[in-house]
Structure 1
Amino acid sequence: MATRDLATSAQALLDLHRPGDPGVFPTVWDAWSAGLAVEGGFAALTIGSHPVADSIGRADNEGMTFDELLTRVRQISGAVDVPLSVDIESGYGETPERLIEGLLDAGAVGLNIEDTVHSEGGRLREATEHADLVGALRQAADGAGVPLVVNARTDVFLKQVGEEADRVDLAISRLRLCADAGARSLYPVGFHSDDVQRRLTAELPLPVNAIGNPAQGSRAHFAELGVGRVSFGPLWQMNLAERATELLTDWR
Structure 2
Amino acid sequence: MNKIELFKKLHESDELLVLGNAWDLPSARVFEKAGFKAIGTTSWGIAASLGYADGEAIEFELQLSVIQRIVDNVQIPVTADIESGYGHNDETILSNVLKVANLGASGINIEDSMKGATGLKQLSDQCHLLTKIRGALDNNGFVHFFINARIDAYLLNLDPLNETLTRLKAYVESGASGIFVPGLKHEEEIKTIASCTSAPLNVMALPGLADCDKLKKLGVRRLSLGGALYRKTATLLEQCALEMLDSRDTSILFE
Per the normalisation by structure 1, the TM-score is 0.89
Residue 168 of structure 1, CA deviation: 0.9
Per-residue CA deviation, residues 7-57 of structure 1 (Å, 9 max, x unaligned), is x21111111114763111111110000000000001111001111100111
Other structure's SS at 1:157 match: helix
Q: Which runs of 5+ in 2 are unaligned?
A: 246-255
Alignment partner, residue 107 of structure 1: 104
Residues 57-136 of structure 1 aligned to structure 2 (within 5 Å): 57-93=51-87, 95-119=92-116, 121-136=117-132
Q: Report the residue type matching 2:125 in the other structure.
A: E
> Across the two proteins, how many residue pairs are aligned to each other?
241
Q: Report the residue type matching 1:134 in the other structure.
A: L
The answer to whether the 8 Å contact 2:19/2:38 transfers is yes
Q: Report the residue type matching 1:36 in the other structure.
A: V
Q: 2:242 aligns with which of 219, 237, 249?
A: 249
Per the normalisation by structure 2, the TM-score is 0.88
Q: 2:24 aligns with which of 23, 27, 30?
A: 30
Residues 1-252 of structure 1 aligned to structure 2 (within 5 Å): 8-18=2-12, 21-93=15-87, 95-119=92-116, 121-146=117-142, 147-162=144-159, 167-213=160-206, 217-252=210-245
For 1:71 and 1:88, how far apart are their aligned partners in 2? 12
RCO (CA 8 Å, sep 6+): is it higher in 1 or 2?
1
Residue 240 of structure 1, CA deviation: 1.6
Q: Report the residue type matching 1:130 in the other structure.
A: Q
Moved more, 231-240 or 20-29: 20-29
Alpha-carbon RMSD: 1.9
Residue 209 of structure 1, CA deviation: 0.3
For 1:213 and 1:62, how far apart are their aligned partners in 2? 23
The answer to whether the 8 Å contact 2:86/2:93 transfers is no
Alignment partner, residue 251 of structure 2: none
Other structure's SS at 1:174 match: helix
For 2:226 and 2:199, how far apart are their aligned partners in 1? 20
Percent of matched pairs sharing the same residue: 27
For 2:128 and 2:70, how far apart are their aligned partners in 1? 30
For 2:206 and 2:171, how far apart are their aligned partners in 1? 26
Q: Which runs of 5+ in 1 are unaligned?
A: none
